[in-house]
Structure 1
Amino acid sequence: MSHDAGGVRDALSALDSEYDAVVFDLDGTLVELLVDWDATATEAEAALAEQGVDAAGVDLWTMLDLADKHDVRPTIEDILSTRECDGAEVSERLPLADTVADLSVPVGVCSLNCERACRVALDVHDLDADVDAVVGRDSVATRKPHPEPLLATLRGLNATPESAVFVGDSPRDEESALAAEVDFLYVDAERSGN
């Protein structure tokens, strides 16, 4: 996926006057967390196995669902959040992050990463002062593509769904925006149709 984001930057400049708030996904949109997701999945699978939960061959998000079902979520959440925070400390700033300070409307972050990792990455890249609300995977009871994380971010910005735009990098982000009835823009201009 391209992280050129030039077309999206231009679109955000134009949208700045059209919307009352802009919400960004974090990983893959503003920064790239340096996390070995395969190693994380292997560690999480082993931790679930120790709890008697078979998670062989499933992705991390399914592992979280299994952990919830078997009431062992803290075990997996600890593994994920530790690796995400470590990855946030050494994350790479992506080009779209340069637009955040230039926006004249409130800015939020809505992420599948834990809130602490979001805040670490924002701090590392000097974006924390320009972001008014942060909602991570552990901030609310549900996670994207459920609309609640995005809606919670908008509440933190005192914005309504019809007055905001969500910028992300994945179909899950787009599904979340659609479910919350929020306009959506892909960070990759080609996917956005720009």
Structure 2
Amino acid sequence: MNHLAPLLFTKEAVVFDLDGTLMHTEPEIRMAINAALVDCGFPEIDPEMALPNLHGPSREVLESAAAMVDVPSSFVPKLQEAYMRHYKQQAHAHSRLYPGALELLEHLRDHDFKLAVCTNKVEANARHALRTVGIIDFFDVITGGDTTAHAKPHPLPLSHTLKQMGVAHEYAVLIGDTHVDARCAAHCNVDFILHQNGYGAPSEPEHKIAGQFNTYGGVFT
């Protein structure tokens, strides 16, 4: 992982995905999905079954989860309404930062990097999650799945983020964990770094990866 420091020091800005990249939020998402399913009269998803989509906007996450327990597509809007209510009530009590993420943010800030979050999570929920774990003040810009007209992998969210930061694409890097982040970065001609311990499958990224790491502790060492 020592190859990442030389790459990062050619940049001015580091943009992070949130779910599966900065924070482990799967338990929170699963709890809200199961509570919503019960509210709508459907069975919970078996805890042994992996959620197939943890990278899309909330509706896509719900659609993929609903299909696992044979929920008709016509119920998805009602399911999404219940999900958003339960997710808000949980207040991110079960989400946590990945080990070493805070230290990396501090290191980047000490070296005068501009920092941002670009996620498909609803912006209000992203801000609440970042505030709950105490890192919101690190970020100059926070772009959610509803901030712009399109979500990742469309280039607009990342382009919007960099424009707000005042950073040219060639001087930024996106750190993410799935093919959605890799595609978004490729569409924007931004270098992509893969967090391998996130929610993406190892074979998912189809675009160029400038670097990758398993744990945050070794990114600069």
How far the C-alpha of 1:89 sits from its partner, in A, is: 3.6
Deviates more, 1:13-22 or 1:154-163: 13-22
**For structure 2, which runs of at least 5 residues remain unmatched after alignment?**
41-51, 54-58, 64-75, 203-210, 214-221
User: In the alignment, is the contact (CA less than 8 A) between 1:89 and 1:121 conserved in 2?
Assistant: no
Q: Which residue of structure 2 lines up, in the alignment, with residue 18 of structure 1?
A: 10
Q: Which residue of structure 2 lines up, in the alignment, with residue 90 of structure 1?
A: 94
After superposition, the CA RMSD in angstroms is: 3.4
- Partner of residue 101 from structure 1, selected from 99, 106, 110: 106
TM-score, with length taken from structure 1? 0.71
SS in 1 for 2:158: helix
User: In the alignment, is the contact (CA less than 8 A) between 1:21 and 1:165 conserved in 2?
Assistant: yes
The structure with more helix, counted as a fraction of residues: 1
Instruction: In structure 2, give the amino acid aligned to 1:139.
Output: T
Structure 2 Cα separation of the partners of residues 124 and 38 of structure 1: 18
Structure 1 Cα separation of the partners of residues 61 and 97 of structure 2: 28
Pick closer, same or farther for the CA change 1:75–1:101 going to 2, 3 Å.
farther
May I ask how many residue pairs the two structures share in their alignment? 171
1:187 aligns with 2:186: no
Deviations 1:90-143 (A, max 9, x none): 311102522112112110101111112211221122211111110111111111
Q: Which residue of structure 2 lines up, in the alignment, with residue 61 of structure 1?
A: 60
Deviations 1:50-92 (A, max 9, x none): xxxxxxxx9641767xxxxxxxx98666445445443634311
- Partner of residue 151 from structure 2, selected from 139, 143, 153: 143
Counting only pairs closer than 5 Å after superposition, residues 28-67 of structure 1 correspond to structure 2 as 28-33=20-25, 34-37=27-30, 40=33, 43=36, 60-61=59-60
User: In the alignment, is the contact (CA less than 8 A) between 2:155 and 2:185 conserved in 1?
Assistant: yes
Pick closer, same or farther for the CA change 1:91–1:193 going to 2, 3 Å.
closer
Structure 1 Cα separation of the partners of residues 81 and 11 of structure 2: 37
How far the C-alpha of 1:153 sits from its partner, in A, is: 1.3
Instruction: In structure 2, give the amino acid aligned to 1:138.
Output: D
Pick closer, same or farther for the CA change 1:84–1:152 going to 2, 3 Å.
farther
User: In the alignment, is the contact (CA less than 8 A) between 2:33 and 2:62 conserved in 1?
Assistant: no
TM-score, with length taken from structure 2? 0.63
Structure 2 Cα separation of the partners of residues 62 and 27 of structure 1: 12
Q: Which residue of structure 1 lines up, in the alignment, with residue 129 of structure 2?
A: 121
User: In the alignment, is the contact (CA less than 8 A) between 2:177 and 2:194 conserved in 1?
Assistant: yes
How far the C-alpha of 1:16 sits from its partner, in A, is: 3.6
User: In the alignment, is the contact (CA less than 8 A) between 2:35 and 2:86 conserved in 1?
Assistant: no
Pick closer, same or farther for the CA change 1:158–1:89 going to 2, 3 Å.
farther
SS in 2 for 1:145: coil
